């Protein structure tokens, strides 16, 4: 992966290897005083996969900072560079998740970062983290540490449980529909997405409306600290899928919302 203006921090080959992992790229950027990736701290996986899924967390998505991506066409062996617009990003979506896009493997990516940016602390968890520590103007490094701390608290130990992280997409609904839901479920958070759309935290609904945070069905369940995360303690793929269908139906019954998977089913 190429990151514009990375400092000498990346000079040795071991550190260059680390930036193939998204967490390594974030660490390198923050170490170099470059703004843009810090809210994606501690997300497991490689940079290429992050581009494919347009991964996001705490108000930042890959599409916000990607400059370009390079691919290898599995059919012809040809290399190609794609602009951000050509990647056709959407919510946890890109061209590379389409039927045609699966013919390409991402080999490199570049991010457009800034030395004079501003940290993004608009998400409630991040705001509460700094409020509890009386930090009014957090630094770049402090935001990275805050996001890392929040993720460690909300996500399971990968050495203990099998998990794909957030299993479902958060529903994005019209503002009037959100207002009606908020009247039914007081305290329902909502994140303004523009164009009269609001993103509803599905984990909140699974917890508060459906009572399914920490619920288990045999060897699979929702994580005790975050209902959006399905965990497995030796469960099979069939068990995970059956449980996921149950969660989708519960949200439909309680809130009238359709829920899409964020994870990709293979095979």
CATH assignment at residue 186: 3.90.78.10
Spot the catalytic one: 41, 94, 166, 232. Answer: 166
Instruction: Tally the domains of the chain.
Output: 3
pTM: 0.79
pLDDT at residue 40 in the model: 96
Q: Do 6 and 102 share a domain, yes or no?
A: yes
Same domain for 76 and 132? no
Looking at residue 2, what is its pLDDT? 35
Res 39: pLDDT? 97
What pLDDT score was predicted for residue 14?
Answer: 46
State whether 83 and 13 are in the same domain. yes
Q: Which pLDDT band holds residue 164 (cuts at 50, 70, 90)?
A: confident
Q: Are 9 and 107 in the same domain?
A: yes
Q: Is 100 an annotated catalytic residue?
A: no
Q: Give the domain range for residue 44.
A: 2-111
**Do both 135 and 172 map to the same domain?**
no
81 in catalytic set: no
Q: Among this protein's residues, is 262 annotated catalytic? A: yes
The average confidence (pLDDT) of the chain is: 90
**Residue 11 banded pLDDT, cuts 50, 70, 90:** very low
Mean pLDDT value of segment 32-53: 94
pLDDT above 70 for 18: no
Active-site pick, 92, 144, 151, 232: 92
* Stronger pLDDT, 2 or 68, i.e. the higher one: 68
Percent of the chain with pLDDT over 70: 93
pLDDT digits (tens, 9 = 90+) for 201-226: 999 999 999 999 999 999 999 999 99
Give the 3-state secondary structure of the chain: CEECCCCHHHCCHHHHHHCCEHHHHHHHHHHCCCECCHHHCCCCCEHHHHHHHCCEECCEEHHHCEEEEEEEECCCCCEEEEECCCCCCECCECHHHCCCHHHEEEEEEEECCECCCCCCCCCHHHHHHHHCCCCCCCCHHHHHHHHHHHHHHHCCCCCCCEEEEECECCCEEEHHHHHHHHHHCCCCCCEEEECCEEECCHHHHHHHHCCCCCCEECCEEEECCEEEEEEECCCCHHHHHHHHHHHHHHHHHHHCCCCCECCCCCC
Whether residues 93 and 145 fall in one domain: no
């Amino acid at each position: 992966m190429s990151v514009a203006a990375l400092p000498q921090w990346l000079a040795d080959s071991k550190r260059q290897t680390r930036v193939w992992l998204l967490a390594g790229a974030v660490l390198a950027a923050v170490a170099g005083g470059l703004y843009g990736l810090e809210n994606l701290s501690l997300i497991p996986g490689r940079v290429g996969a992050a581009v494919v899924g347009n991964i996001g967390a705490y108000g930042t998505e890959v599409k916000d900072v990607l400059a370009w991506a390079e691919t290898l066409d599995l059919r012809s062996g040809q290399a190609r560079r794609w602009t951000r617009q050509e990647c056709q990003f959407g919510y946890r979506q890109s061209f590379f998740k389409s039927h045609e896009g699966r013919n390409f493997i991402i080999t490199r990516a570049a991010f457009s970062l800034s030395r004079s940016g501003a940290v993004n602390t608009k998400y409630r968890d991040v705001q509460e983290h700094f409020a509890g520590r009386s930090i009014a103007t957090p630094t770049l490094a402090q935001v990275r540490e805050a996001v890392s701390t929040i993720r460690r608290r909300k996500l399971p130990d990968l050495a203990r449980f099998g998990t794909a992280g957030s299993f479902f997409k958060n529903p994005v609904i019209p503002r009037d529909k959100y207002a009606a839901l908020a009247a039914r479920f007081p305290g329902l958070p909502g994140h303004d997405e523009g164009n009269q759309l609001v993103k509803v935290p599905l984990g909140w609904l699974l917890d508060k409306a459906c009572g399914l945070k920490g619920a288990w069905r045999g060897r699979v369940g929702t994580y005790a600290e975050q209902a959006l995360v399905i965990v497995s303690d030796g469960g099979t793929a069939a068990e995970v899928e059956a449980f996921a269908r149950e969660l989708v139906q519960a949200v439909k019954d309680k809130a009238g919302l359709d829920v899409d998977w964020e994870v990709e089913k293979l095979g």
